[in-house]
Amino acid sequence: MLSDKQLFLQFLGQTSPAPLMIEINSAKGVFLFGPDGKKYIDLISGVSVSNVGHNHPKVVGAIKDQVDSYTHLMVYGELVLSPQVRYASHLAEILPPALNTCYFVNSGSEAVEGALKLAKRFTGRSRIISFRNAYHGSTHGALSIQGSETYRNAFRPLLPDTYQIDFNDFESLDLIDEKTACVIVEPIQGEAGIIVPHTGFLESLRKKCSDTGTLLIFDEIQTGFGRTGYMFAADRYNVAPDIILLAKALGGGMPLGAFISSGEIMSALSSDPPLGHITTFGGHPVCCAAGDAALSVIIEENLAGSCNAKSALFRQKLKHQLITEVRGEGLMLAVQLTGHKYVEYVVANAHRYGLIMDFFLFCNSAVRLAPPLTISEEEISMACTQMLDLLDDASKNAIKA
C-alpha cells in the first residue's frame, strides 16, 4: 500500500517542485502533531488563518451546532440564513461605520474579484491601480493586479487597464485620476516581506482617491482580525477604505471571504443586470458560524490587544548573527536574514527543530512569523529557542546559494 506521502505526490496537483511534505494528524492551539506524535509549533497559522489557534473549542462547537441544523441550502443571496446575517451584522458593528454591507464569498481571491467588479460597476470606469510586490490572489483578475511581473507574464493576456505603482512612493499617487475606478492596497504589504506604510502614506492615498472619485480598496485578508495588534489595519492607521476585503481568519479555519462596502456602493451589483455577481457556496452557513465564533473569541480573549507584548517578546528573544532585522506590526512579522541561502535552509529544516516556518512570495531574504494570536509567552520562548538552534545550524551548514 502506498503511504500518504506517496499518494500526495501521485494524486494531488502540486504548487511547486519542493512542498514541505510534513504529515499532520491533528492540531490543537499553536501545535500541529505528526503521525509519530511529533509536535510542531505553528509559526505560520496557514498563512494568517488560525488567529484563534487550531481547534478552538468555541469554534468547533459552533461548527458542530451548525452542521446539526443545516449545511448548504441554496445559492448565496436568496434565503435568510441566521449564521450569515448574524456574522454580517457582527462585522458591521466592529468595522468603520460606512462598511456595513457584506457580500460573502468563499476565498480571498474571490473577494478581490467581487470588489474589482463592484468598483468598475459603481464608478463606470475601468482602470485599476495596485502596488508593486502586492499579492491579491491567483485567479485571473487578482493575478492581473499582482505586483510581480514574473507571475503575471507567465499567464498573459490578463485584464487590460491595470497599472502598478510603488508602495510608500507619495509621488506615484499622481497617477490616480478621474479615469481610475479603484486603487487596491494591502495596508501592510504581506508577501513583499512585511512592508509597513510610511507615516501619512495611507492618508495621502485616501485623499487622492476621494479627490478623484476613485474607490479605495483595503485588502485586509492578511492584516485582519487582530494580527497587527488592532482588529483591522484600518483601525491601526485610522484610514477608512470604501471597500474592505476579508478572508483567511474571517472563517475561523473554514473557507470564507467577503468584500464589504456601504449599502449605496454595494447596490450597484444587484441590478442592471441583476445577478451580475453570484456564488453557490459563498457565505456557507457552517463557515459563517465558525467565523462568527472565532471573532467573538478574538474580542473576548483580547487577542488583538495582547499581540503587541507578544511581538515585543519575539523581537527581544530573536537576536542572532544571521538576523539583521525583525520588522512588522503585532504578530505579522518578517525575520530578515543575512542571505537567501539561510532562508532556504531554515524553511526546509524547521520541522527538524519542531517548527513550521515559511517563505514570502516576493522577498527571498526573510522568513515569515505569523503564529496563532493565542500563542503564550512560554510558547514564544520555546519557539525562539528552537529557532535560534536552527539558525546556529544554518550558519554552519547552509549551502552557498
User: Interface with ligand PLP by CB under 6 A: which range of 64-72, 162-170, 218-226, 285-293?
Assistant: 218-226
Residue 127 C-alpha cell reads as 482602470
H helices of 12-48, in order, are 45-48
Quote the least distance from Cβ 202 to ligand PLP, whole Å: 15
| Secondary structure of residue 296 in the 3-state scheme | helix
**Smallest distance from ligand PLP to CB 259, Å:** 11
Interacting residues with ligand PLP between 247 and 266 (CB under 6 A): 247
- How far apart are CB 352 and ligand PLP at their closest, in Å? 26
| Grid cell locating 78 | 436568496
Nearer to ligand PLP, 108 or 372 (CB): 108
The total of other beta-carbon atoms located within 10 Å of residue 2's CB is: 10
Residue among 145 and 286 whose Cβ is closer to ligand PLP: 145
Shortest approach of ligand PLP to residue 273 CB, angstroms? 26
CB of 35 to ligand PLP, least distance (A): 27
Contact 43, 32 (CB under 8 A): no
Instruction: Tell me how far, at minimum, the Cβ of 114 lies from ligand PLP, in Å.
Output: 12
Residues from 42 through 101 that contact ligand PLP (CB under 6 A): 47
Q: Which is nearer to ligand PLP, 220 or 292 (CB)?
A: 220
Strands 215-219 and 180-185: parallel
What character string, x for contact with ligand PLP (CB under 6 A) and - otherwise, covers 98-137?
Answer: ---------xxx--x----------------------xxx
Q: Which is nearer to ligand PLP, 166 or 264 (CB)?
A: 166
Give the DSSP H or E segment for 349: helix 340-349
* Out of 118, 216, 221, 333, the residue judged to bind ligand PLP by CB under 6 A: 221
Cis peptide before 17 (omega within 30 of 0): no
Between 295 and 394, CB nearer to ligand PLP: 295
| CB closest to ligand PLP, residue no | 108
Element (H, E) at 61: helix 57-69
Whose Cβ is closer to ligand PLP: residue 291's or residue 353's? Answer: 291
Q: CB of residue 221 vs ligand PLP: minimum separation in angstroms?
A: 4
Beta strands 162-165; 127-131: pairing state = parallel
Cα separation values, 363 from 45, 145, 192, 233, 360, Å: 19, 18, 5, 21, 5
Residue with grid cell 482602470, as numbered in its chain: 127
Range list of β-strands (E), 124-212: 127-131, 162-165, 180-185
Q: Is 222 in the site for ligand PLP (CB under 6 A)?
A: yes
> Smallest distance from the beta carbon of 112 to ligand PLP, in angstroms?
6
Handedness of CA 370, 253, 55, 5 (dihedral sign): negative
Distance between CA atoms of residues 324 and 233, nearest Å = 25
Residues that bind ligand PLP (CB under 6 A): 47, 107-109, 112, 135-137, 186, 190, 219, 221-222, 247
